[in-house]
């Protein structure tokens, strides 16, 4: 009888050890599963955050207006043939590349559409390509906008008429074509005043599409009473 009791006690001890092993195994498996689930949750949350961030970046422009749009009237006082648009970085943006490979500028009006007339940042891309003519009109850093207009007028012509082009001029820059914090850029657009005219009461739209983010869209109307070779505030 004593031997039977010992066997029974041994069995109870064995069963207890087996139960403990099974319990430990369950705990380990449950911990591993919980770890995987938590990691999947963190991964999904991170991906959702990145997707939302990309969506916000795509929906908002990297550029914003930094003042009034200015128009310059032609010699006869009939139409606006130059547009000057001041821009800067939008809040929360660190930089925007203004090279002609990343930026598109289009102009839309009642009687014409210009899909992409941007040729690049003036003091680097454009200057390098038209260096001889550039020196005839512009000297030193931070060129005056009137000199920029003279350069465009004297350089970009087609069969004696002005050619549709757009350039950017970055001020307070550090020697590159990238618009950064504390820098300001002017987009200068030259229009062919023979075929692409902006006369009094004409409504036009300019779209500036940088490499990232949505396009900066500007809609304005040309006021009446244009004076020859004057500058007019378009708002």
Domain boundaries defined on the chain: 1-59, 63-233
Query: What is the pLDDT, as a whole number, of residue 55?
Result: 46
Helix (H) or strand (E) holding 64: strand 63-65
Cα–Cα distance measured from residue 230 to residue 219, given in angstroms and rounded to the nearest whole number: 21
- Mean pLDDT, residues 84-101 taken together: 91
- How far from chain centre, in Å, is Cα 107? 17
Confidence band for 48, pLDDT divided at 50, 70 and 90: low
Confidence band for 57, pLDDT divided at 50, 70 and 90: very low
Three-class secondary structure of residue 30 per DSSP: helix
- Of the candidates 174, 156, 173, the one whose C-alpha atom is nearest the C-alpha of residue 165 is 156
Three-class secondary structure of residue 51 per DSSP: helix
Query: What is the pLDDT, as a whole number, of residue 53?
Result: 47
Cα–Cα distance measured from residue 217 to residue 212, given in angstroms and rounded to the nearest whole number: 15
Q: Give Cβ neighbours of residue 154 (< 8 Å, ≥ 6 apart).
A: 133, 136, 137
Residue 119 has pLDDT above 90, yes or no: yes
Taking the CB of residue 106, how many other CB atoms lie within 10 A of it? 18
Residue 169 has pLDDT above 80, yes or no: yes
Residue, of 173 and 11, whose pLDDT is higher: 173
Residue, of 104 and 57, whose pLDDT is higher: 104
Taking the CB of residue 126, how many other CB atoms lie within 10 A of it? 25
Task: Give Rg (Cα) of the chain.
Answer: 33
| Eight-state DSSP code of residue 195 | T
Taking the CB of residue 184, how many other CB atoms lie within 10 A of it? 16
- Mean pLDDT, residues 153-160 taken together: 89
Cα–Cα distance measured from residue 220 to residue 223, given in angstroms and rounded to the nearest whole number: 9
- Mean pLDDT, residues 169-186 taken together: 89
């Amino acid at each position: 009888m004593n031997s039977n009791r010992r066997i029974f006690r041994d069995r109870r001890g064995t069963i207890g050890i087996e139960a403990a092993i099974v319990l430990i195994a369950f705990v380990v498996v449950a911990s591993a599963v919980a770890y995987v689930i938590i990691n999947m949750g963190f991964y999904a949350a991170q991906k959702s955050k990145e997707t939302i961030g990309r969506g916000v970046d795509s929906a908002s422009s990297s550029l914003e207006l930094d003042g009034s749009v200015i128009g310059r009237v032609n010699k006869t006082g009939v139409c606006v043939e130059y547009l000057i648009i001041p821009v800067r970085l939008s809040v929360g943006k660190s930089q925007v590349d203004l090279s002609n490979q990343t930026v598109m500028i289009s102009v839309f009006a009642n009687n014409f559409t210009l899909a992409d007339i941007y040729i690049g940042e003036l003091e680097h891309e454009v200057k390098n390509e038209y260096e001889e003519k550039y020196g005839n009109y512009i000297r030193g850093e931070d060129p005056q906008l009137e000199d920029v207009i003279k350069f465009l007028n004297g350089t970009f012509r087609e069969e004696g008429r002005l050619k549709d082009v757009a350039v950017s001029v970055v001020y307070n820059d550090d020697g590159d074509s990238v618009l950064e914090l504390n820098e300001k850029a002017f987009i200068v657009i030259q229009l062919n005043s023979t075929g692409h005219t902006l006369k009094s009461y004409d409504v036009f739209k300019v779209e500036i599409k940088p490499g990232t983010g949505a396009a900066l869209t500007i809609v304005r109307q040309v006021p009446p009473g244009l004076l020859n070779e004057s500058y007019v505030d378009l708002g």
